Amino acid sequence: MAMIQPTTIATHSGSFHADDVFGVGVLMGVFPEHTLTRTRHEPTIAQADFAVDVGGEWDVARGRFDHHQRGFDGERPARTVNGVEQPAVGYASAGLVWTAHGAAYVQAVAQARGFELNAAAVQEVVEAIDHSLVQYLDMVDTGQHEVAAGIFGLSALVAQLNTSWIEEQGLDTVAKAQLQEERFRHAIAIVRAFLDQAIVKKIAQLRAVEIVRQAPRLLGGRVLHLSQGGMPWTRVVVEEMPEVLLVLYPDSDGQQYQLKTVPVEAGSFQARMDLPQAWAGLREQELAAVTSVPDSVFCHLKCFIAGARSFEGALRLAELALPAQE
């Protein structure tokens, strides 16, 4: 029986950046049987199945994912968001690899966790990850934008994992290269941990959509009741349920039911309605005295979330909080 040859992945030696870390990490996930070479030796790069951020070529069919060559003009299509045209975002190696192999990576992550995704769902996840993560790695690498100040962006944090001159002091060439590769692989593990969790969260969001849509609505349709806590509901409620003012659900440990206000738009701190100001910051007996709900637990100082120990208690809080029906 013939042995399967591992896929060879080449990238440059020396200091690394988030785009080569990400690109190599994606290929490692898609091709678990692989060998990794960090080198600038052109014949070695030319013989590899994949070359990331090195080699001077962009050729998906041949596994070439570099963006440094003269004449490179790869970029995402320009987008229109809320009627405003957003400029095209150029590719670095992260985006080149993700565009070609992101779907296979998403499928691998989903299958490893027992999730089944159709082609449309896979593509939606790929696009969401590109929009929320990958394009920003490309922006930093190509100098289009300093996405986060200081060292708080992912690109900057990855760069911190490079060796410093003081760590390299006294090391010969082989030892220095070995230390750099150890750091490179450590960076890949960190970036893939964030990437994989972002994918899982997007899958969870997609799976939650129909559950949220079909959830019962109480108190004249103004309270959405979710039977499971931790489920992402904001986008569906904001975009599709203008009459819903509050969402009721059990908390993650099952010790209480929580009542949360609905923002006017995703990401906004302004709600369609606030909980009563008289409840602000009250807990336990103090809140129970004001509401006459004996199992009241708390109301946040900003009046966007409250809780009671029972479903009936939380529903009663909702009834008290809602404005009178016209």
The string of pLDDT tens digits covering residues 124-180 is 999 999 999 999 999 999 988 777 666 678 999 999 999 999 999 999 999 999 999
What CA–CA distance (Å, rounded) separates 241 from 224?
A: 9
59 phi, psi to nearest 5 deg = -150, 100
Taking only the tens place, the pLDDT of each residue in 35-50 is 999 999 999 999 999 9
What CA–CA distance (Å, rounded) separates 45 from 62?
A: 12
| Closest C-alpha among 306, 270, 267 to residue 286 | 306
| Residue owning tokens 């996840």 | 125
Share above pLDDT 90 across residues of the chain, in percent, rounded to a whole number: 85
What CA–CA distance (Å, rounded) separates 152 from 34?
A: 32
What CA–CA distance (Å, rounded) separates 202 from 128?
A: 8
- pLDDT score, position 239: 94
What CA–CA distance (Å, rounded) separates 187 from 61?
A: 27
Mean of the per-residue pLDDT values for the chain? 93
Mean per-residue pLDDT, 288-309: 96
- pLDDT score, position 78: 84
Residue 325 pLDDT greater than 60, yes or no:
no
By CB neighbour count within 10 A (0-12 exposed, 13-18 middle, 19+ buried), where does 177 fall?
Answer: middle
Question: How does residue 10 score in pLDDT terms, banded at 50, 70 and 90?
Answer: very high
- pLDDT score, position 124: 95
